[in-house]
Structure 1
Amino acid sequence: MSTTITSGQPIPSLLTVIITTSPTPSAPSTELVSAILSSFRNHCAKLLLCRVVVVFDTYDRIASHARLKKGQVTTEGAKTFDLYKKNVTELILREFAHHDNDRILSYDQGEAEFGYSAVESNFVPFTISRTADRQITFVTPSKRLGFGLAVRSALRLTETPFVWVQQHDWPLVSDIPLESLLNVMQTIEDDERPPVEYICLPSVRLLSYAESAHVVRFPELKGLTSYLKREFITESGESVPLTPMFFWHDKPHLASTQHYLSRIFPSRLSMPRGAFIEDTVGQRARNQMKRGDWLKWATWLYYPENGRRLCLRHLQGRTWEGSEKESEKKAIWRVQSAKREYESS
């Protein structure tokens, strides 16, 4: 089945890039974010022309051992995170500012509310710093938001109809037809064309998704895949393969800004502080989709080469310590391995 789509506006007027970052063992190095930007340059350069919102999510407490998913860092991790924010800010300004004069920031304040409004402490203040042309925006919360509230805070500052949501440790490894994907999302659905509100990019675990146990074990999902999976054809003749996705993943994705806000964040009760979207709303969405209620979510997976082409690589930001430290660890491991081999001979 194929669907013809029409061309739209220039990409920078349609799309904002949202980058979320947080304490990482590789700080204060910017290698993680640099890898993301390098992958944009190599595989989807038009992303670097778009507006960008960077959220510097922070930690909850300092402890003797880091548990980053729980918002726990060491004393050293807290110190390096401050320098990391400064380094990433400079990097983003270099990459996204059109002129040197566009790097001057103005400051404002915002709040991320959550939970019951009757609890006065259920909000997190944050600082907004942005360039005069609104090309670049930084969000710096006073307390940990978690991925979900970090994305919502960025969405509320977004002025474009679509967003590219990018975690700091998922670089691209394959070319992405951004214009064609946006054209698919712009086209209004009809009786022959289902809605496209969210497009996830394939990681290793999502290869051959349409034939995976995530789909075929459930008759409703298998039937929806058979009916919905298709090639969207652009005016230029480019084919854009998509298969329905029965989940809302946090890994890099394109989405409608309005759909995101209304479907994932309909109220302050929808997302606890510190939570991930895929662990909360994503699970509820999948349970609904198993019963056949996919249409209101309209989630898809980009499916090049019938699901065999990888588009993302995970750099394991919670454990990766940067190329220099990783090289040192490998050198130590080789020495220890050689020593054990010598002692056993």
Structure 2
Amino acid sequence: MKRATVAKHVTGGMKHLDSRMTTVSDTIPPAYDRSTTPPRHHAATPNMSPICSSLVSKNVTVIITTSPLRSDPDVSMLHTTLQSLSLAGLSYCRKLLIVDHFDVGEPRLRKQSGRLPQANIDNYNERINNFRSATWAEGTEVVELSEWHGFALAVKSALSLVTTPLVCIVQHDLAFRREVDTKPIVDVLLNKDHHVNYVYFKRDSQRKYDIRSNMQFGLDLGEPVQFETSEQSSSTSVPLLRLPRYFDGTHIASVKWYHSLFSGQYLNGKELGSKGDFIDTNLGIYMQRKASERKELTTLPDGSKVSQGVLDLSDEFGCWLWAGEYDPLIQHLNGRKFLGAEEIASRKKGGNAHK
């Protein structure tokens, strides 16, 4: 299999590690500036005070993956996603925008083909250039891939630039919708005594995931487990629910664990590494099917009951679902909502392939 590559102008095989972008700052990022790029649809109140913590900023790198959007060349969606990081105390962290590459050509029937018409690519490139020049994007490093990757390979490439023990993966159309203290979550992930490698935050479509998992797959996730934290944390414990599958959505995870994933074989013996793949559609489905093979309930020492398959997958992968106060915590941003009425009408009339 041909290995995915990136351009060569920067250490690690990346290009355009934007020279004008600053490194991690010790100051709070600038406030939401509506005069610069007023977002048409945002996930959180812009005047909320960010939660700041050295425990988070020193141990977490934020990776935001992006590809062509319906709203290109407008940067409002990226503005919304980036600004929402302050709600989770992630604004101080090093931030990488991973820009996937697309070639000129007619898209195949499969949506993720790595090819788009020239007009779409021009709009995409304009959005990235607009991002570079935006004052609210200062402190974010822009990394352009030299060939088409898709989500899984883009994450793998980005991990080569990460020096912190933890990473927060964020897709460009997902934003935090409420304030959440991530310090205790980071604390638990850093504790080697806890078998916690990945903590996922639910999005709109995953409300009451534990109930839906039972109804759809016959799996009982049990009750949330309270993980104790250290003195560095602002909370004495973190409630986490066993998660028998991986999701691509917003999560914080161990970098070492992530690296190990790319050396394994999962769905139908397939590795994580084919172009255009999502991790969810390989590892996620593999985990779900494997958990479903053992639906029988096991009684834990505290008297609670959990499906044996859920316990098995939790032991094998250490994936957990944040079971805090808000359900869900993550909002999906619809690209069409960032388009004006005239632009929508124009694209429909012109038969734009990437509406």
TM-score (normalizing by structure 1): 0.70
Matched, 1:229 2:228: no
Cα distance, 1:326–1:153 mapped onto 2, change above 3 Å: farther
In the TM superposition, what are the counterparts of 1:109-188 in structure 2 within 5 Å?
Answer: 136-188=140-192
Distance in 2 between residues matched to 1:90 and 1:57, nearest whole Å: 19
In the TM superposition, what are the counterparts of 1:73-92 in structure 2 within 5 Å?
Answer: 73-91=116-134
Cα distance, 1:64–1:19 mapped onto 2, change above 3 Å: closer
Amino acid aligned to 2:316:
K
Distance in 2 between residues matched to 1:241 and 1:262, nearest whole Å: 26
RMSD after superposition: 3.0
Encode CA deviations 1:108-149: one digit per residue, 9 max, x unaligned. xxxxxxxxxxxxxxxxxxxxxxxxxxxx54321222100000
1:83 counterpart SS class: helix
Cα distance, 1:64–1:15 mapped onto 2, change above 3 Å: closer
Cα distance, 1:237–1:145 mapped onto 2, change above 3 Å: closer
1:48 counterpart SS class: coil
Identity in percent: 26
2:102 counterpart SS class: coil
Q: 1:162 deviation in Å? A: 0.2
1:248 counterpart SS class: coil
Matched, 1:256 2:254: yes
Matched length: 271
In the TM superposition, what are the counterparts of 1:58-77 in structure 2 within 5 Å?
Answer: 58-63=101-106, 68-77=111-120
Aligned to 2:317: 297
Amino acid aligned to 1:28:
P
Aligned to 1:325: 340
In the TM superposition, what are the counterparts of 1:23-102 in structure 2 within 5 Å?
Answer: 23-41=68-86, 43-44=87-88, 46-63=89-106, 68-91=111-134, 94-97=136-139
Distance in 2 between residues matched to 1:327 and 1:40, nearest whole Å: 31
TM-score (normalizing by structure 2): 0.68
Cα distance, 1:321–1:206 mapped onto 2, change above 3 Å: closer
Encode CA deviations 1:179-198: one digit per residue, 9 max, x unaligned. 11101111223xxxx51110
2:245, 2:287 within 8 Å by CA — same for their partners in 1? yes
Cα distance, 1:269–1:239 mapped onto 2, change above 3 Å: closer
Amino acid aligned to 1:273:
K
1:47 counterpart SS class: coil
Aligned to 2:210: 210
Q: Once structures 1 and 2 are overlaid, which stretch shifts more, 169-178 or 321-330?
A: 321-330
Cα distance, 1:325–1:64 mapped onto 2, change above 3 Å: farther
2:262, 2:271 within 8 Å by CA — same for their partners in 1? no
Cα distance, 1:231–1:322 mapped onto 2, change above 3 Å: same
Query: Structure 2, unaligned stretches of length 5 or more?
Result: 1-52, 295-308, 346-355
Which one of 314, 318, 324 corresponds to residue 332 of structure 2?
Answer: 314
2:112 counterpart SS class: helix
Query: Structure 1, unaligned stretches of length 5 or more?
Result: 1-7, 98-135, 331-345
1:62, 1:78 within 8 Å by CA — same for their partners in 2? no
Cα distance, 1:81–1:18 mapped onto 2, change above 3 Å: same
1:263, 1:297 within 8 Å by CA — same for their partners in 2? no
Encode CA deviations 1:24-80: one digit per residue, 9 max, x unaligned. 121111111101022123x22x31111112110122442289975333422210111
Q: 1:218 deviation in Å? A: 4.9
